[in-house]
Amino acid sequence: MRNSIRKVCLAGSAAIAALFAAVSANATHSWAGMHWARTGTLNIRYADNVSPAWDSYLATASVDWTKSVPIDTSVIQGSRNPYYCNGTYGRVEVCSSQYGTTGWLGIAQVWTSYGHIIAAIVAVNDTYYANTRYNTPAWRHEVKCQEIGHTLGLDHQDEIKTNANLGTCMDYTSDPSGTLGTNGVLSNEHPNAHDYQQLVTIYSHNDGWQLSSTRPATTGLISIAEQSSRIQFPRSTDPVFNPRSWGRAVALDRRGRGRVFGRSLANGVEQTTFVTWTDPYDR
């Protein structure tokens, strides 16, 4: 009798442990469960406001993330001043510029309404990419891939830069190429199977609505009527590179610096900013 109860308890705690492992893997790798609402196939548009040096990296990142089952992406022509990189309702603006010695290589800023993404931007800082340390295909691939991963709702798989590479761009590293001998041998330049699995989990449900700009056969622009019938997308008066516009740090890296910032805006819109910092000695 006692034995069988113990067995049941053990089996129960094993099941609970497995459940927690599954839940925490999800929790650590999606950011607060945020995602684009969908009733069917999603095609997220990435508007190209980057300098020519970035075009092939944006194209590669788009192809990489389109390999995921629930998400298609396409690159369309942008019309933003990349220095300010203002967002556009219903799509992602991708920018590059000489933002100055801000300390960051790249950021992704995502606006959500009740957990659903309504707009995002990605910016990469050419001030640092002019340095030989960062002006490599591996550093360009990793940061471009990671920031775009954030605009789909993903968080990092690992935040310790000195750990061996996990083979995903969603992993902080000091050597994205995996060839310098400091972070193992895997390349962190592209998504891995766990990223794709995470997207399946995040996008498995039907929301009952979907922005017209994310449907497969559209120009990527949302109608004015649809904008006003849904949530007003706030216009930012602060340039993207101004940390004061990011709000407060809601997650820290190992050095105690904010790596994710959150700010509540009007009309129930939440702004989340993911920051990829340079290594401190590169400031």
Sole window of 18-26, 131-139, 141-149, 186-194 interacting with Zn ion (rule: CB under 5 A):
141-149
Q: Does 274 bind Zn ion (CB under 5 A)?
A: yes
Question: With CB under 5 A as the contact rule, which of the stretches 76-84, 91-99, 129-137, 274-282 interacts with Zn ion?
Answer: 274-282
Question: 92-97 and 116-125: which strand pairing?
Answer: parallel
Minimum CB distance to Zn ion, residue 195 (Å): 12
31 touches Zn ion (CB under 5 A):
no
Handedness of CA 60, 63, 67, 69 (dihedral sign): positive
**Window of 48-56, 59-67, 93-101, 142-150 that interacts with Zn ion by CB under 5 A:** 142-150
Q: Please state the φ and ψ torsions of residue 7, each to the nearest 5 degrees.
A: -60, -45
Q: How far is the CB of 155 from Zn ion (least distance, A)?
A: 8
Distance of CA 187 to the CA centre of its chain: 18
Strand pairing partners for 258?
Answer: 252
Which residue, 241 or 274, has its beta carbon nearer to Zn ion? 274
Q: Which listed residue (207, 226, 279, 282) binds Zn ion by CB under 5 A?
A: 207
Contact 121/85 with Cβ under 8 angstroms? yes
Q: Which residue is nearest to Zn ion (CB)?
A: 207
Residue 280: strand, helix, or coil: helix
CA angle 42, 46, 48 (to 5 degrees): 160
Q: Give the DSSP letter of residue 243.
A: G
Hey, what amino acid is at 16?
I
Query: Measured from the CB atom, is 151 or 236 closer to Zn ion?
Result: 151
139 binds Zn ion (CB under 5 A): no
Q: Which is nearer to Zn ion, 129 or 274 (CB)?
A: 274
- Write the interaction track for Zn ion spanning residues 145-184; mark x where CB under 5 A is met and - where it is not: -x--------------------------------------
- Between 126 and 155, CB nearer to Zn ion: 155
Left (φ > 0), alpha (ψ -120 to 50) or beta: where does 80 sit?
beta
* Reduced DSSP (H G I as helix, E B as strand, rest coil) percent helix, strand, coil of the chain, to 5: 30, 25, 45
Nearer to Zn ion, 93 or 142 (CB): 142
Of 15 and 69, the one with the shorter C-beta distance to Zn ion is 69
Sort strands 269-277 and 42-49 into parallel, antiparallel or unpaired. Answer: unpaired
Q: Give the residues lining the site for Zn ion (CB under 5 A).
A: 146, 207, 274
